[in-house]
């Protein structure tokens, strides 16, 4: 028993010594004392990039030629807790993500994304839904047509609604008394 106690004390002492060595090796200089040069970055004026479309939507167009990539992003005022019908935003996000626009099948939609080597994402936030499409610059015309079609007329189907409902109910836990224990959204 004594041997075990001595061994435990020795191990704890070595552990404390190794941790103190790591702590002493850290740079403890406060960032204000580091003499980092002031940033030359100036936030651009969003008004210079704002374009009002014929349908009333506002778009921001900023050109950057360093990378041959185009990013299209839309923010839609429909989120997890926006006060409208429960599950509507989840069904909409599911439609945006998996079904694409009404004028094409989900298979054709996914094939078009693959052909353009696109990075496509739909993120459901508390108050809005964000749709993002990144494509090589040479695919801009096709990507813009596809993106516009998705935003204007998403292919909302009964299957989307069932999938969104299934994802939501899978994450809800109820105790024996019927009280809600946990609710978590599948969308970040």
Domain assignment of residue 60, yes or no: yes
pLDDT of residue 185: 38
Q: Which residue has the tokens 């010594």?
A: 17
Reading the chain (188 residues) residue by residue, the pLDDT tens digits are 666 677 676 676 766 666 566 666 666 777 778 888 888 888 888 888 888 877 777 777 777 777 889 899 988 888 777 666 767 778 888 888 888 899 999 999 999 999 999 999 998 888 888 999 999 999 999 999 999 898 888 888 888 778 777 776 665 555 455 444 444 434 33
CATH code of the domain in which 64 resides: 3.30.830.10
Domain assignment of residue 25, yes or no: no
pLDDT of residue 172: 52
Count the domains in the chain: 1
Domain assignment of residue 15, yes or no: no
Domain assignment of residue 11, yes or no: no
Domain assignment of residue 72, yes or no: yes
Q: Are 167 and 89 in contact (CB under 8 A)?
A: no
State which residues form the domain around 56: 49-182
Closest CA to 120 of 90, 149, 143: 143
Domain assignment of residue 59, yes or no: yes
Domain assignment of residue 20, yes or no: no
pLDDT of residue 117: 93
Closest CA to 113 of 138, 74, 142, 72: 142
Domain assignment of residue 132, yes or no: yes
């Amino acid at each position: 028993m004594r041997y075990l106690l001595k061994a435990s004390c020795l191990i704890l002492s070595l552990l404390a010594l190794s941790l103190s060595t790591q702590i002493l090796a850290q740079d403890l200089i406060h960032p204000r004392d580091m003499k980092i040069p002031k940033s030359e970055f100036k936030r651009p004026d969003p008004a210079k990039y704002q374009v009002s479309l014929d349908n009333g939507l506002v778009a921001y167009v900023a050109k950057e030629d360093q990378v041959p990539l185009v990013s299209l992003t839309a923010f839609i005022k429909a989120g997890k807790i926006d006060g409208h019908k429960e599950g509507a935003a989840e069904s909409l996000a599911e439609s945006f993500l998996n079904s694409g626009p009404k004028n094409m099948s989900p298979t054709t939609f996914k094939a078009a994304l693959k052909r353009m080597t696109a990075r496509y994402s739909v993120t459901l936030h508390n108050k809005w839904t964000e749709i993002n499409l990144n494509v090589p610059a040479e695919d801009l015309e096709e990507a813009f047509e596809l993106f516009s079609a998705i935003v204007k007329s998403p292919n909302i189907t009964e299957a989307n609604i069932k999938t969104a409902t299934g994802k939501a109910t899978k994450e809800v836990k109820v105790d024996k008394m019927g009280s809600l224990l946990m609710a978590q959204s599948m969308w970040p």
